[in-house]
Amino acid sequence: MIYIIGTVGFIAGFVLGQILLMRWLKEYSKEELLENKDLHWKYGFFNWVVAIVTAASSVWLYRNFILG
């Protein structure tokens, strides 16, 4: 069950990261987003961190509050 909770948390975190990035990167043009490799690394890494932290948080919440 923990694997399912972790996977759902990871997917939810990835979606949350994408929503945040859509709001933060709206002032950049499409060409700049595609060509600027610094943006790829900076914001791409941020999205993965948000997904991993959300997955870990969901597993922690499950273990401490659902399992008791």
Task: Quote the pLDDT of residue 59.
Answer: 96
Domain count, the chain: 1
Stretch 38-49: mean pLDDT? 90
- pLDDT exceeds cutoff 90 at 13: yes
Average pLDDT, the chain: 93
Name the range with the highest mean pLDDT among 4-13, 29-38, 39-48: 4-13
Supply the range of the domain harboring residue 32: 2-66
pTM, full prediction: 0.84
- DSSP string covering the chain: -HHHHHHHHHHHHHHHHHHHHHHHTTTS-HHHHHH-HHHHHHHHHHHHHHHHHHHHHHHHHIIIII--
What average pLDDT score do residues 23-44 get?
89
